[in-house]
Structure formats: structure tokens, C-alpha cells
Chains A and B, each alone.
Chain A
Amino acid sequence: EVQLLESGGGLVQPGGSLRLSCAGTGFTFSRYAMSWVRQAPGKGLEWVSAISGSGDSTYYADSVKGRFTISRDNSKNTLYLQMNSLRAEDTAVYYCAKNLAIYGGYFDYWGQGTLVTVSS
């Protein structure tokens, strides 16, 4: 059974940093691209970032480019999102999602989400 478990969310002050983790089980982690998708309170879904299975290729939404860094450790079956220079508008539930592929693919499994709150 595929499972994705996020952790690392919490309350952080504007300008601060946070690192999210997502542990994947039940599938060959290194074979699949992975993404982070967020949802601000009461709002819709926003794709944040994606990474190829090998980790060689990364992609970002303009809203986070230069502030967030996606990475993965395939030996630990874990995906990361390093978030720096956080702003109030980054407040959201962050989901990790398994991609069949980045281009032409889809998010077939999602984690339960972790809440990030940016506030003073």
C-alpha cells in the first residue's frame, strides 16, 4: 500500500525558515517524480514544486522560486522542502504527492498534509 507521511509543519515568524519532510512507503521511491502542493485556508490547490525520480531535475512555481528548495534522499525514501524567507501568504497545508511523471502525468497518491502557519 502506498503511503506518504509529511512532517515538519508548524508556526514560524515571517522571514523564518522551515523544512518539511515526506516519507514514502509501499512503492519504489526512486522511480517516481514527487511534488509539493499547498492549499491556503479556504482556498484552492496550488502546485509548489516538483523533482524527478533521480533528483536531477527540479521545478518551481514563480511564487516560491528562489526561496524554496526541493530535494530528495532516495536512500531514505524521503522528500524534502526547505522553505526560507517565509511570508504570511505561504500559510497553507502542504501536501506531498507522488507523480507518475511531471509532464503528462498526474498525482496518484497524496499525503495527509502538514500545516505551515507564518505569523508573528
Chain B
Amino acid sequence: DIQMTQSPSSLSASVGDRVTITCRASQSISNYLNWYQQKPGKAPKLLIYAASSLQSGVPSRFSGSGSGTDFTLTISSLQPEDFATYYCQQSFTTPLTFGGGIKVEIK
């Protein structure tokens, strides 16, 4: 199985900060990497697919990059509504696997 490792496990940031979250795959997954945002009590929401494509309706402050084994999600200017947990997910092969999630909290 492909293991997805996210770092850091949590982070504290302020409104307006630039935030970068890392996801590493245990083997190459090309660009088959997706990012989701989840708020408490809600279903996950797709932010980025295929490593760097912005899902329709998602603000442009979110961006993704990477290929192979190393990927990043960047929030260029953190907004109050962005405090949430972020998950990466690979779709290169089954079993489809998620990272453990990173909770972005208010500093």
C-alpha cells in the first residue's frame, strides 16, 4: 500500500499568513494527488486535484504543486474560514489512501 505522510501534524497560524503543508508518498504517484479541506462535523471538500488543478469554486489563494513523491498545498493569505483540517489523497493505485491530516489552528 502507498503510505501518505503529512507534515507538520498540526500548525498554528494567523490570519494573513502564508501557510504551506507538505505531503509525501511512500512511492512515486506521478501527479495523482488530491487535497481536501474538512471542517468539524462536515464532509470533506475537494480543493485541488491532480496535484495542482484548482477545483471549481475554490478561492485562488489555494494552490498545489509537486509530482512523484513530494507535494505541497499552499494558502497564500490565510482567511478565518480556512481554519480546518487538510488531507492529501493518492489515486495512483488501490487501496486509495489518505494522509493523516493537518489541523490548521488559530495562533
Q: Give A contacts to B, CB under 8 Å.
A: 35, 37, 44-47, 50, 59-62, 95, 100-108, 110-113
Q: Is the interface of B mostly helix, strand, loop or mixed?
A: loop
A46 CA to B1 CA, complexed, in Å: 13
Q: Which residues of chain B (49-107) have a CB below 8 Å from chain A?
A: 49-50, 55, 87, 89, 91-101
Q: Decide: A45 near B92, CB < 8 A? Known: A107-B44, A108-B46.
A: no
Q: Are B95 and A59 in contact (CB under 8 A)?
A: yes
Q: Are A61 and B95 in contact (CB under 8 A)?
A: yes
Q: Which residue of A lies closest to B30 (CB)?
A: A104
**What is the distance, in angstroms, from A14's C-beta to the closest C-beta of chain B?**
24
Interface centre among B1, B87, B91, B100 (most CB of A within 10 A): B91
Q: Give B contacts to A, CB under 8 Å.
A: 1, 32, 34, 36, 38, 43-46, 49-50, 55, 87, 89, 91-101
A46 CA to B4 CA, complexed, in Å: 12
Counting from the closest, the 10 A-B pairs by CB-CB distance are A110-B43, A106-B49, A47-B96, A106-B34, A45-B98, A44-B101, A59-B94, A61-B95, A44-B100, A108-B46
Chain A residues with CB under 8 A of B38: 45
A69 CA to B87 CA, complexed, in Å: 26
Q: Are B44 and A110 in contact (CB under 8 A)?
A: yes
**What is the distance, in angstroms, from B13's C-beta to the closest C-beta of chain A?**
20
Q: Are B43 and A47 in contact (CB under 8 A)?
A: no
Chain A residues with CB under 8 A of B45: 110
Chain B residues with CB under 8 A of A112: 43
A62 CA to B1 CA, complexed, in Å: 10
Q: Which residue of B lies closest to A6 (CB)?
A: B43
A60 CA to B99 CA, complexed, in Å: 18
Q: Are B92 and A103 in contact (CB under 8 A)?
A: yes
A10 CA to B92 CA, complexed, in Å: 33
